[in-house]
Amino acid sequence: MKILVCEDEQILRERICRDLDQQGYETVACADCEELYEAMNGTIDLLLLDVHLPDGCVYDTLAMLQKDYAIPIIFFSSDTEENLILRGYDFDCITFMPKPLKPRILMAAIKSFARRNDLVEDDLQHAGWVWSEKEQKLKAKQNTTDGMDHAAKAAEISFQPATARIFLVLFRNFGKSISKEMLMSCVSAQSSEASLRVRLVELRKKLPQPFEIESVRGMGYRLIAKEENL
């Protein structure tokens, strides 16, 4: 799913795009109305738009764009004046979120939109295990060539919700380092390093044999396959 993020605050824009990239989405970033207009094309599935941009109100640009495109929108703004919000809904937006944004709520809104519109990514696979997006479980791939009953139930592993969110970010970015801050946000907006460590202990206990979570000094953590399983 391809998402266009239009936000003039560089740190926030980069954080949103990084979080989306780590969740498996493809992102396009821009910082003002002119860049938004130039970036629009028929490949965009969802717009994340700040209402107030350096070169004007995004609503005026959308009024022109919607002559050619009908793309779902999530608005956000620190300006929560009622008429401004109501005007956003005139564009049939999915929701209007106040700033400061809550990352987990934003991701939940995007994921809900993706499910409703059949834009959910295919199941992820690494080291003989598959993450079932539909069932929210980690399942062992079945061997279809050894004469076993194909209907036999594969080994399955379920996680508590917060632990599952941590695992999925690591699994989706298999072999790549993920920051502590990103993983803490999977637990809660107020999560600490201590609570993250507790979740990682729980996760390590449930991980199947091929995997291990490696600490990356000064960066965070990454999920890798143990050398003997390579």
Region 50-69: mean pLDDT is 93
Model pLDDT for residues 107-146, shown as the tens digit of each residue: 999 988 988 887 766 678 888 899 887 788 899 986 544 4
Name the average pLDDT for the chain.
Answer: 86
Cα separations in angstroms, 168 against 69, 143, 163: 33, 24, 9
Q: Pick from 152, 157, 226, 162: which is nearest to 198 by CA?
A: 162
Q: Which residue has the higher pLDDT, 106 or 137?
A: 106
CA distance 39 to 33: 10
H or E stretch including 46? strand 46-50
User: CATH code for 2-116?
Assistant: 3.40.50.2300
- Annotated domain spans of the chain: 2-116, 124-229
- Pairing outcome for strands 2-6 and 26-30: parallel
Cα angle vertex 33, ends 93, 4, to 5°?
55
* Fold category of 124-229 in CATH: Arc Repressor Mutant, subunit A (1.10.10)
The rounded percent of the chain whose pLDDT value lies above 70 is: 90
Tell me if domain 2-116 and domain 124-229 are identical in fold.
no
